[in-house]
């Protein structure tokens, strides 16, 4: 027994329903952007006061490269752009997850038919 064309078409139609989400995704980027406040360590500096008044904000992009964490300091405008690209990647991942879920459904259909 094999999966019929109608079953395949229903799955493909569901994929078509969310393919439109891809058109708004541009540059994608792995990692995260964070905003940090840090002490400088100089004696008498406000960052050493009680309570401390830390320096910043400083923005940084962190990602894995060959299994190692890489961090790059960013300017505020760069941080905003990279954050948007990271968000685009997250949206892409959600679309891929939906696509894969339909693939699992297809496998289940095939397995159900072969067990009859």
Question: What are the pLDDT digits (tens) for 32-80?
Answer: 999 999 999 899 999 999 999 999 999 999 999 999 999 999 999 999 9
Tell me how far CA of residue 24 lies from CA of 51, 86, 87, in angstroms: 46, 14, 12
Question: How much is the pTM?
Answer: 0.79
Give the per-residue pLDDT at 1. 46
Q: What is the pLDDT of residues 76-113, one digit of tens each?
A: 999 999 999 999 999 999 999 999 999 999 888 888 76
Is residue 42 within 8 A of residue 68, CB to CB? The reply is: no
Give the per-residue pLDDT at 17. 85
Give the per-residue pLDDT at 35. 97
Here the tokens at position 88 are: 């685009």
């Amino acid at each position: 027994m094999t999966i019929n064309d109608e079953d395949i078409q229903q799955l493909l139609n569901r994929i078509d329903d969310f393919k439109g989400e891809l058109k708004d995704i541009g540059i994608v980027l792995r990692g995260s952007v964070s905003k940090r406040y840090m002490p400088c360590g100089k004696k008498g500096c406000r960052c050493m006061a009680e309570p401390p008044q830390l320096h910043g904000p400083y923005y940084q992009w962190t990602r894995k490269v060959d299994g190692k964490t890489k961090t790059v300091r960013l300017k505020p405008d760069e941080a905003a752009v990279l954050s948007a690209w990271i968000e685009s990647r997250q949206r892409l991942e959600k679309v891929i997850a939906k696509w894969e879920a339909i693939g699992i459904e297809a496998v289940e259909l095939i397995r159900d038919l072969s067990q009859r």
